[in-house]
Amino acid sequence: MTLAHSIDVAQIERLQSLRTEFFKLSSLRDVHLFSQSLAADSPVDLAFAFLLEAWTLRQEVDHDTPFLPAHALSPGPSPM
């Protein structure tokens, strides 16, 4: 049986940073640029890339189409 890997402090900080940047997105163009900025060697970034692909798969082709992050992801609790 394979056990899930826990994420370390650096990955938690990266997740919080990505979450902050994600909630600033306002168009599909922003989503595309955000997606392009994700690191290919970070599990946290790869998870975000996977979710972005799923959320935008059915979106309009027009890059100026509004994107509402709260419809895709809950902001969650505020950092302490």
No. of helices (H) and no. of strands (E), the chain: 4, 0
Supply the pLDDT for residue 3: 53
* 32-79 pLDDT, tens digit each: 899 999 999 999 999 889 988 877 666 556 778 888 888 777 666 655
**What are the residues facing 27 on neighbouring strands?**
66
* 1-42 pLDDT, tens digit each: 555 567 788 889 999 999 999 999 998 889 889 999 999 999
Q: For residue 58, give both structure tokens.
A: 């059915």
Supply the pLDDT for residue 24: 94
The domain spans of the chain are: 29-72
